């Protein structure tokens, strides 16, 4: 932490509440995380385009298969992830304000939402499989399991990243704002990807 009136470096420990430290106008987080996130978004964009091409060629099949999904589960999972992103965003604000206790508590809430998302998705999968809607059923369900499966892996990785964020906040000798922001950037990407997947798989007619 620097003296009052100076600018706190993004890789420095959290500022004490009310010390007047600022972040300026620099890009939040770490540039490597931004590169990773943008690369991931490009890869998912390719998946989405391929899905749309298949859907255009098999529109009736896709619409009929889509009716067998649980829209309620998709809505609940969307709300859960949106809540998690809100918690993580508030955690970053708390970290910037020099309030690690609040930041840790909000990070835990965000991680619990991520775990709840995974449980709901696994239940949804098991229900669909029990009714015969497996990966081999048709092209729609191939995309359904592929897209939601890859996304679920990202959620799992995101929960691990939130644990890293929590450990950072718990260590009074670390608490680097840049690392906290980088973890949050990844989590928000996971949320954004799900919103697109939900729209394509569950909602679009």
Tens-place pLDDT, residues 99-121? 999 999 999 999 999 999 999 99
> What is the number of other CB atoms lying within 10 angstroms of the CB of residue 166?
20
- Which residues lie closer than 8 Å to 189 by C-beta, 6 or more apart? 37, 40, 41, 154
Nearest to 180 by CA among 83, 94, 109, 111: 94
Asked whether residue 21 carries a pLDDT value surpassing 70, the answer given is no
The domains of the chain, with CATH numbers, are 31-203 (1.20.120.80)
**Contact (Cβ atoms closer than 8 angstroms) between residue 104 and residue 166:** yes
Tens-place pLDDT, residues 165-187? 999 999 888 888 989 999 999 99
Q: How far apart are CA 156 and CA 184, in angstroms?
A: 14
Per-residue pLDDT averaged across 14-24, rounded? Answer: 47
What DSSP assignment string belongs to 127-165?
A: HHHHTT--TTS-HHHHHHHHHHHHHHHHHHHHHHHHHHH
- Which residues lie closer than 8 Å to 191 by C-beta, 6 or more apart? 81, 82, 84, 85
Given this model, what pLDDT does residue 11 score? Answer: 56
Per-residue pLDDT averaged across 62-79, rounded? Answer: 94
pTM comes to 0.84
């Amino acid at each position: 932490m620097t003296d009052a009136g100076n600018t706190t470096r993004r890789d420095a420990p959290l500022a004490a509440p009310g010390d007047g430290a600022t972040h300026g106008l620099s890009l939040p987080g770490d540039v490597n995380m931004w590169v990773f996130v943008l690369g991931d978004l490009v890869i998912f964009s390719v998946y989405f385009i391929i899905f749309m091409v298949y859907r255009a060629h098999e529109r009736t099949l896709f619409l009929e298969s889509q009716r067998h999904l649980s829209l309620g589960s998709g809505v609940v999972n969307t709300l859960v992830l949106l809540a998690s992103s809100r918690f993580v965003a508030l955690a970053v604000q708390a970290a910037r304000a020099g309030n690690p206790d609040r930041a840790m508590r909000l990070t835990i809430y965000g991680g619990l939402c991520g775990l709840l998302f995974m449980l709901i998705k696994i239940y949804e999968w098991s229900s669909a499989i029990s009714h015969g809607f497996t990966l081999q059923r048709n092209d729609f369900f191939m995309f359904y399991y592929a897209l939601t499966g890859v996304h679920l892996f990202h959620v799992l990785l995101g929960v691990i990243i939130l644990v890293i964020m929590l450990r950072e906040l718990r260590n009074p000798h670390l608490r680097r704002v840049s690392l906290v922001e980088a973890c949050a950037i990844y989590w928000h990407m996971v949320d954004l990807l799900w919103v697109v997947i939900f729209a394509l798989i569950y909602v679009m007619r």
